[in-house]
Amino acid sequence: MQRWANPTRFLKIAQAVRPWATAATIVCLAVGLVLGLGFSPPDYQQGDTVRIMYVHVPAAWMALFVYTSMAVASAVALIWRHPLADLAAKASAPIGAGFTVIALVTGSLWGQPTWGTWWVWDARLTSVLILLFLYLGYIALWEAIEDPQRAARATAILALVGFVNVPIIKFSVDWWNTLHQPASVLTTRGPTIHGSMLTPLLLMAVGFTLFYIAIVLTRIEREILARRIRALRLLASEEPAKVN
The residues of the shown chain that bind other proteins, judged by CB under 8 A, are 41-46, 50, 53, 75, 78-80, 113-117, 120-123, 160-161, 163-164, 168, 175-179, 181-184, 187, 192-194, 196-197
Q: What does each C-alpha distance from 231 to 90, 197, 225, 226, 236 come to in angstroms?
A: 19, 51, 10, 9, 9
Q: Rg (Cα) of the chain, in Å, rounded?
A: 21
Minimum Å gap between C-beta 165 and other proteins is 9
The count of other CB atoms within 10 Å of the CB of residue 91 is 22
In this complex, which beta carbon is closest to other proteins, that of residue 15 or of residue 196?
196
Alpha-carbon gap, residue 223 to 102, rounded angstroms: 25
In this complex, which beta carbon is closest to other proteins, that of residue 5 or of residue 26?
5
Minimum Å gap between C-beta 239 and other proteins is 34
Distance of CA 83 to the CA centre of its chain: 21
Minimum Å gap between C-beta 192 and other proteins is 5
Minimum Å gap between C-beta 235 and other proteins is 29
Minimum Å gap between C-beta 68 and other proteins is 13
Minimum Å gap between C-beta 39 and other proteins is 11
Q: Count CA atoms closer than 13 A to 10's CA, side-chain side.
A: 23
Quick one: DSSP state of residue 118? S
Q: Do the beta carbons of residue 160 and residue 75 sit within 8 Å?
A: yes
In this complex, which beta carbon is closest to other proteins, that of residue 43 or of residue 68?
43
Alpha-carbon gap, residue 166 to 41, rounded angstroms: 32
In this complex, which beta carbon is closest to other proteins, that of residue 186 or of residue 243?
186
In this complex, which beta carbon is closest to other proteins, that of residue 12 or of residue 81?
81
Alpha-carbon gap, residue 107 to 30, rounded angstroms: 22
In this complex, which beta carbon is closest to other proteins, that of residue 26 or of residue 75?
75
